[in-house]
Amino acid sequence: MMNERDEELLKSMRDTLGLKNRFYNYRHSAKSIGRGRMVMLIVRDFPQIKTIIIPFFYGKLYGNKGKQFYEWLEKMGDDNMSESAKFLYRLYKRDQFEKYKNSWV
């Protein structure tokens, strides 16, 4: 999620990665007076998550974003997750994404 002023940046990233997802543009609640509109790109397509999103970010995020990324991968293994999510978790635990982490240089 980003401020709407960065929409072109987000679109450029989507196009560079070859994603086929659309943008969502929304306004904060009335309690958030003075905050600008936000844009977000949501990727739900399993093949795109597996072959584009995870390899692109794997091993490249640092600080809090890196921590959040690996926490997200860990959550994929939870009992209440779909079989597709658990499959991604197993790939992560077997270091399958490690060999692809530099493929988007």
Read off the pLDDT of residues 58-101 as tens digits, 9 standing for 90 and up: 999 999 999 999 999 999 999 999 999 999 999 999 999 887 76
Same domain, 34 and 66: no
Please tell me the predicted confidence (pLDDT) of residue 105: 45
H or E element, residue 38:
strand 38-41
Same domain, 64 and 95: yes
Alpha-helix residue ranges (DSSP H) falling in the chain: 7-17, 46-48, 54-57, 63-75, 83-93
Same domain, 36 and 66: no
Q: How many domains are there within the chain? A: 2
Does the structure show a pLDDT above 80 at 103? no
CA distance 71 to 83: 18
- 24 by DSSP, 3-state: which? strand
What's the domain range around 105? Answer: 45-105
Averaged pLDDT, 7-18: 92
What is the C-alpha end-to-end distance of the chain, expressed in Å? Answer: 23
Please tell me the predicted confidence (pLDDT) of residue 76: 95
Please tell me the predicted confidence (pLDDT) of residue 32: 58
> Do residues 52 and 62 make contact, with C-beta atoms less than 8 angstroms apart?
no
